[in-house]
Each structure stands twice: as structure tokens, then as C-alpha cells.
Amino acid sequence: EAEVAQSPRYKITEKSQAVAFWCDPISGHATLYWYRQILGQGPELLVQFQDESVVDDSQLPKDRFSAERLKGVDSTLKIQPAELGDSAMYLCASSGRTGGSVYEQYFGPGTRLTVT
């Protein structure tokens, strides 16, 4: 069964350092999402891509966060510099044209970030 891949699964970094997360969506899925999930809360959308274009990045803290999906396939989310408040689970999800409804988002296992 096709899955969304994310790496690393866990990341510990010191504040002011740079971190990067990688996501490989389900093959053929045109839409890719990055979410942040703070412990005890639901996921909150950071950025949404349609192919290689950003559709929504209204909640992305652009002074320190950046995201790209250069070839419309895999994606990278970067934080520089990391702050203590960035400690959270970063989830990638994809949805699209290959099977299922476009509204069905398939989530990866997430990257648990701890900033010390």
C-alpha cells in the first residue's frame, strides 16, 4: 500500500540552529500539505502545494520557515533559526488524482522536533 514517507522521524536541535524535514508524497498525488501538531492539539496547516506551486502559506512564519516542492514531487520544510516554541510534530500529507476523493488526505508518520 502506498504511503507518505517522511524523514527524519525524530530530530533534536538547539535553538538558533537550522533544521530541515523531507516528505515524499504518494505517487501521483498533486497536492501536498505540511502541518504542525503541538502536543494535545490538532494539526494546523502551515503550507499547501498544488504541484510545485504554493496554494496557501498564510500560516507559515515566513521569517524563519520556508518550504519548497521544486519538481512537484517531494518537498522540504526548513526552519532557520529554530526556536523553543517550534517543538512539535511536523506532518506531511498528500491528496490527489490517483484513487480516492481529492478530500482524502493521507498523512505520513511525522517528524517529532524537539528544540532545546
Partner 1 sequence: QKEVEQDPGPLSVPEGAIVSLNCTYSNSAFQYFMWYRQYSRKGPELLMYTYSSGNKEDGRFTAQVDKSSKYISLFIRDSQPSDSATYLCASYSSASKIIFGSGTRLSIRP
C-alpha separations of 56 from 11, 16, 24, 67, 69 in Å: 26, 26, 19, 11, 13
* Residue 40: φ, ψ to 5°: 85, 5
Q: Does 103 help bind partner 1 (rule: CB under 8 A)?
A: yes
- Rule CB under 8 A: is residue 42 a binding residue for partner 1? yes
Options 25, 48, 79, 82; binder of partner 1; rule CB under 8 A: 48
Residues 16-35 that bind partner 1 (CB under 8 A): none
Nearer to partner 1, 48 or 69 (CB): 48
Number of other CB atoms surrounding residue 90 within 10 Å: 23
Q: Does 65 bind partner 1 (CB under 8 A)?
A: no
